[in-house]
Amino acid sequence: MSHPVLEISSMSVDYLVDPVVHAVRDVSLTLARGEVLGLAGESGCGKSTLAYAVTRLLKPPASIVGGRALFHSREGYAIDLGELHGEELRAFRWDKVAMVFQGAMNSLNPVIRIRDQLEDVFTTHRPDVDKRRRRERCAELLTRVGVDPGRLNAYPHELSGGMRQRVMIAMALALDPQVLIMDEPTTALDVVVQREILQEITRLRAELGFAVVFITHDLPLLLEISDRIAVMREGRIVELADARTLYTAPTHEYTRQLLDSFPSLTGTRGGFVRDGSQASPAAPARTEVAS
Ligand SMILES: Nc1ncnc2c1ncn2[C@@H]1O[C@H](COP(=O)(O)OP(=O)(O)OP(=O)(O)O)[C@@H](O)[C@H]1O
């Protein structure tokens, strides 16, 4: 693959409980610069553990028992994430690889205005940016994620869940990261808000050029937004293909089962819609190729 931004090799993670849980088993995955990689699989298959392992957010009893993750900067150097510690690691997480998790919106401090929480990212990580510029950046960021900058003075409880999650996305994008890892970022939101936010992310990705790892058990959603999809089962990646191929010609039995578990995807002409375009009539319907 040309120009990877993230290279995960033979990553294995155990939870050191009794009996030991082998949550991630020998996973290798490469994320290309600017691509959206979907990570699908049932609850408990190890998706979050993998994301936390890559970003080094795992806590005991979790233990990385093998493999490594390399980040390739657009400036041309590589960083072994296993070798970052303390301050370096914290800075890396905002600066290069940012994350948005399902409950992220609840991690906003309820007694601090949105503006101050956003500004804090700059004060901490970009101390050389002066106050005026910081304020401008915060307004720009909110506008970018579709929130009226007039809400900068609001407290989190004055915003809806969708708005708060957008604020978290704005924060994740504040330092212009090269990778955005999103673990069920919209699951707690209603479907309309979920769609709006996903469209926003797709648009921002095109505008800013970051790559996205999008984690969810919602395969239909991944088919819409991903360039490639990795299907995970019991800690392993069992299939990895571009979204259309995965949908039209899945090779692994488990992928077929997963596709079949979403009634909206079955039928002779499925609802595969990406970037507003219908599946090509030449593309075989998935059910025809399933053996
Ligand atoms: N703290 C823990 N101690 C022991 N086992 C754990 C712990 N956290 C997770 N696991 C186990 O590790 C496996 C992978 O869990 P993980 O949360 O990564 O899966 P997931 O695919 O992200 O699931 P979900 O979609 O429900 O978040 C599961 O079997 C889970 O029970």
Q: What is the pLDDT of residue 2?
A: 63
Q: Is the CB of residue 155 below 6 angstroms from any atom belonging to ligand 1?
A: no
State what percent of residues in the chain have pLDDT above 90.
Answer: 68
Tell me the mean pLDDT in the region 213-220.
91
- pLDDT(55) > 70: yes
Q: What is the pLDDT of residue 269?
A: 39
Closest listed residue to residue 47, CA positions, set 78, 28, 23: 23
What CATH number was assigned to the domain covering residues 4-289?
A: 3.40.50.300
Q: Is the CB of residue 231 below 6 angstroms from any atom belonging to ligand 1?
A: no
- pLDDT(282) > 90: no
DSSP 227: S
Q: Do you find a cis peptide bond into 19, omega within 30 degrees of 0? A: yes
- Which stretches of the chain are DSSP H helices? 47-54, 86-95, 114-125, 131-144, 161-173, 191-208, 219-225, 243-248, 253-260, 286-289
Q: Is the CB of residue 259 below 6 angstroms from any atom belonging to ligand 1?
A: no
Q: What is the pLDDT of residue 262?
A: 83
- pLDDT(236) > 70: yes
Q: What is the pLDDT of residue 59?
A: 93
Q: What is the pLDDT of residue 187?
A: 80
Tell me the mean pLDDT in the region 245-269.
84
- pLDDT(263) > 80: no
Closest listed residue to residue 64, CA positions, set 22, 106, 113, 109: 22
Tell me the mean pLDDT in the region 71-89.
92
- pLDDT(283) > 50: no
What does the alpha-carbon distance between residue 265 and residue 261 come to, in Å, rounded to a whole number?
A: 8
DSSP 106: G
- pLDDT(270) > 70: no
From the CA of 213, how far away is ligand 1's center (Å)?
A: 18
User: What digits encode the pLDDT tens for the residues 91-125?
Assistant: 898 899 999 988 788 889 999 999 999 999 999 99
Q: What is the pLDDT of residue 72?
A: 95
Domain boundaries, the chain: 4-289
Q: In this structure, what token pair is assigned to residue 105?
A: 């919106």
From the CA of 34, how far away is ligand 1's center (Å)?
A: 28
pLDDT band (50, 70, 90) for residue 172: very high
- pLDDT(37) > 70: yes
pTM of the model: 0.87
Q: What is the pLDDT of residue 217?
A: 87
Tell me the mean pLDDT in the region 21-25.
98
Tell me the mean pLDDT in the region 260-280.
54
Give the position, in ligand 1's atom list, of the atom nearest the Cα of 216: 25
From the CA of 240, how far away is ligand 1's center (Å)?
A: 21
Tell me the mean pLDDT in the region 125-144.
93
Q: What is the pLDDT of residue 272?
A: 44
Give the position, in ligand 1's atom list, of the atom nearest the Cα of 41: 21
Q: What is the pLDDT of residue 185?
A: 86
Q: Return all residues near 102 (Cβ < 8 A) that are at least 6 apart.
A: 183, 184, 185, 187, 188
Q: What is the pLDDT of residue 164?
A: 92
Whole-number average pLDDT of the chain? 88
- pLDDT(291) > 70: no
Q: What is the pLDDT of residue 74?
A: 86
Give the position, in ligand 1's atom list, of the atom nearest the Cα of 49: 18
Q: Strand 236-242 vs strand 228-233: parallel, antiparallel, or unpaired?
A: antiparallel
pLDDT band (50, 70, 90) for residue 266: low
Tell me the mean pLDDT in the region 172-186.
92
